[in-house]
Amino acid sequence: MLKNQRILGYSLIAPAMVVIGLFVFYPIFEAIRLSFYNRILTIPEFSFVGFETYEKLIANEIFRRAFRNTVIWVVGSTVLGMFFGGIIGIIIAQGENRITRFISLLVLIPFVMPDVVVAATWAWIYDTNIGILNSMLNQMGLIKENVDWLGSAKLALPAVIFVMAWRIAPLGALLVQSSYKGIPLEIFEAAEIDGANFFAQLKYIVLPLLKYAIIIGILLTMMWVMQNLAIVRLMTDGGPGRTTEILSTYVYKQNFQYFKESEASAASVIYFGFLIVISLSYLIIFRRVWVKET
Amino acid sequence: MKNRMFKVTMFILASWMIIMTAGAVFAEKTAEKPVEVVFWYFGGLDTELRLFPKMIEEFNRQNPGIVVKGTHFPWDARDEKIMTGFRQKNLPDLITRDSMAVADLVGMEILVAFDVEFPDYYNSWEPRFIPEIWNQVSRLDGHKYGIGPYCSVGPMMIFDPELLESLGLEGVPETFEEFLDFARVVKQNGYIGVSLPASKATNDMMIFMDIAYANGGRWLSPDGKKVMVNGPAWVETLKLYDQLNKEGLIQRGAMQTDYVDALKLTVQGKAGLGMGKDWINAIVYDLGAPAEKIFNLTRFPRKKPSPGEYPPVGLTLEGGSDMMMMSTSKVKDAAIKFVDHYASEEVLRNWGGDPVRGRTPASFVAYDNPAFKKYNPFLYQQFKAETLFEDAIEAPNFRGLAEMYHILADAIHEVLLRNTTPQQALNKAQKQCQEVLDRYIQ
């Protein structure tokens, strides 16, 4: 009976497993397989070259720069996004009325806008000659001449990181807001009686209790940032020079503009490995903390 | 009894349904269906996007046995669509592409050479086209892979003669030094001296390349094995860009300004001089400039004497909307008829200023269109004087070029960011480009 039930269970999930295998595992396998060849679509002949593609990739200055920029891009966007998202989440969780509900909706706007619209809007805001950012800063007397936000080697990467952080902050706000509302009111009341002010409550009650939500939020936003292509592609396309080149844009160019399939696959595999390492490390730390506390 | 009647009735109904369905399927299979030709076209001006559906409709009407199904895609999607179609073994029968793509597509073994597979059609088309364009553009190893109604030619300079005159400037600059002098005067009067397109867009890099070619530079050595991008013509061109930048004669944010945004600055009267290719007036018109407003074009100034190792080029020629046939097509005999329609004088005439304006036509008949003289006075004058295509050569077309343009863009940006000198930047670019080229010539 039990055996029959097991067979029934497996056969019921089999179609879903086939689909997952086809759309998730097969592309990963194919990318890994292709990375061991030297396939360029515009050259009919290609052969197995083992790790040679990886060696060339790692020796490539542009790839190394893209990798470095990706680390800065991911860490910067995630930390900034979760930090501001967290603050917004705590603020809007303070009350439950029409105003806070309305603000909750407004906060979602960056999250629901398509990447293309976000990139086009911010490219216009940052525009050196007609952008409203320069116009505002000029009127406030904070700058004497227009700043080349996206054309400056020093400012371009922080500028796009800020846009990505703006994009993901609502996710952090939602996570923090919903977790905050799960904290029993009696804890805050007890803390008030003991004389704890807002910041003390934040430090000793809110942050420890929101730890798991923040950890999950950081992991999710990090994965989302890592797979984002449109923001950098449409705002700077990796420029000026390669100052904002990230692995997503690098892989895109290798594959769709230069037709270098094997190189693009190898870069994707390295990127995938990077993501796995980050996610696993995170989960291991998260599990240790959880085990320790329980 | 009732039960039996019911069963008989249901049996008759079921039989009738089966017979009708089988009959319909049989009829569909045996009926003569028109041959379907799948056609992808990419990018284009608004006037061209309105013209293509009419052209397809007209062809379908004239050829009842063939149905051409045209789908338009944005210009930026051209490589992705072809690549994914290639991988999925789902390519169309016909496409329109720039001639720069020929080497890559031939490398992928997906293009038909018209002179080999359709010699009769090829021979019938030849007399309609300007020989310099016909013999060079969309060719590889002597074979013809694309047929197009126009060519992008460059390098060109755009200017508003009224503005320059009001600033006390007469004539047009013909040398780099005169160009800088003009730009300085324009700047002193509160305008942007030159609107410089220096983004990573391929068109911006092609404008740079055109200037280098006009000064005796070439991408590759004559044997095609050595990259020559650090030659004196390229260095002088990059020095010009550097000088313009250092003196503040260009708009701020040049590295984020592509050729369209740069043109807008000139069109809006914010910049005195602009640079690009012949499509300047086409884009300006697309941007909404008044129909009767024509911006003046002239050839871009040159360094005197010519610094390059090779003969200076008059113009580079790049096919922009060349029709190409995929070797995977199963309906080539039908598809060639549409190519023939595209190459007919009735269709080619459209690129003579009406309705499509601002293009340099590839066919003789388009130059006879009265609208061409009205909307392209500079090009018309040169064509009539038989000097337009003097010393014109095809824009480079070899595998790996797309990657090399990006490397060139990096070099230009490094100089504009003042991180290095033009010679050093181009030396580095030469090494990187050589590595790219070596993979294809090995």
Q: Do A257 and B254 touch (CB under 8 A)?
A: no
- In the DSSP assignment, the letter for residue A205 is I
pLDDT in tens, A20-35: 888 888 999 999 999 9
Q: What percent of chain B has pLDDT over 90?
A: 75
Question: How far, in Å, CA of B45 to CA of B47, rounded?
Answer: 5
Token pair, residue B370, equals: 């009265």
Q: Do A129 and B416 touch (CB under 8 A)?
A: no
At a CB cut-off of 8 Å and minimum separation 6, what does A165 contact?
A76, A77, A78, A80, A81, A84
**Cα B61 to chain center, whole Å?**
29
Sketch the domain layout of chain A as residue ranges: 60-293
Residue A47's pLDDT band (boundaries 50, 70, 90)?
very high
What's the confidence (pLDDT) of residue B200?
92
**Sign of the torsion angle spanned by Cα atoms B160, B161, B166, B171:** positive
Region of poorest pLDDT, from A196-200, A221-225, B427-431: A196-200
What's the confidence (pLDDT) of residue A100?
81
B127 touches chain A (CB under 8 A): no
Q: Examine the pLDDT at B28 and tell me if it is beyond 80.
A: no
Q: Examine the pLDDT at B259 and tell me if it is beyond 70.
A: yes
Q: Do B402 and A127 touch (CB under 8 A)?
A: no
> To probe the interface with A, which of B109, B256, B406, B431 has the most A CB atoms within 10 Å?
B256
pLDDT in tens, B30-50: 566 899 999 999 999 989 999
Q: Do B80 and A256 touch (CB under 8 A)?
A: yes
pLDDT in tens, B188-244: 999 999 999 999 999 999 999 999 999 999 999 999 999 999 999 999 999 999 999
Q: Do B83 and A238 touch (CB under 8 A)?
A: no
pTM of the model: 0.88
Domains for chain B: give ranges and CATH numbers. 35-149+321-387 (3.40.190.10), 154-316+399-441 (3.40.190.10)
Question: B435 CA to chain A: closest CA distance, Å?
Answer: 11
Region of poorest pLDDT, from A121-125, A285-289, B114-118: A285-289
Q: Examine the pLDDT at A169 and tell me if it is beyond 90.
A: yes
User: CA gyration radius for chain A?
Assistant: 24
Chain A residues whose C-beta is within 8 A of a chain B C-beta are 40-44, 123, 127-129, 145-146, 148, 150-151, 153, 236-242, 253, 255-259
Angle between helices B422-441 and B401-416 (to 10 degrees): 170
Q: Examine the pLDDT at B395 and tell me if it is beyond 90.
A: yes
Residue A292's pLDDT band (boundaries 50, 70, 90)?
low
Question: How far, in Å, CA of B106 to CA of B108, rounded?
Answer: 5
Q: Are A250 and A60 in contact (CB under 8 A)?
A: no
Q: Examine the pLDDT at A2 and tell me if it is beyond 80.
A: no
Q: What is the ipTM of this complex?
A: 0.83
Nearest CB among A43, A253, A255 relative to B107 is that of A43
Mean pLDDT of B319-342: 97
Angle between helices A132-139 and A115-126 (to 10 degrees): 40
Residue B311's pLDDT band (boundaries 50, 70, 90)?
very high
Residue A12's pLDDT band (boundaries 50, 70, 90)?
confident
Which is higher by pLDDT, A211 or A115? A115
Mean pLDDT of A233-259: 93
Q: Which residues of A touch B419 (CB under 8 A)?
A: 153, 241
According to CATH, what is the number of the domain A60-293? Answer: 1.10.3720.10
Residue B177's pLDDT band (boundaries 50, 70, 90)?
very high
What's the confidence (pLDDT) of residue A250?
96
At a CB cut-off of 8 Å and minimum separation 6, what does B341 contact?
B55, B58, B59, B62, B347
Q: Which residues of A touch B403 (CB under 8 A)?
A: 253, 257-258
Mean pLDDT of B314-332: 96
Q: What percent of chain B has pLDDT over 70?
A: 98
Q: To which residue do tokens 């696993």 refer?
A: A280
Q: Examine the pLDDT at A293 and tell me if it is beyond 70.
A: no
What's the confidence (pLDDT) of residue B54?
96
CA distances from B94 to A153, A257, B111 (A): 43, 21, 10
Question: How far, in Å, CA of B242 to CA of B63, rounded?
Answer: 56
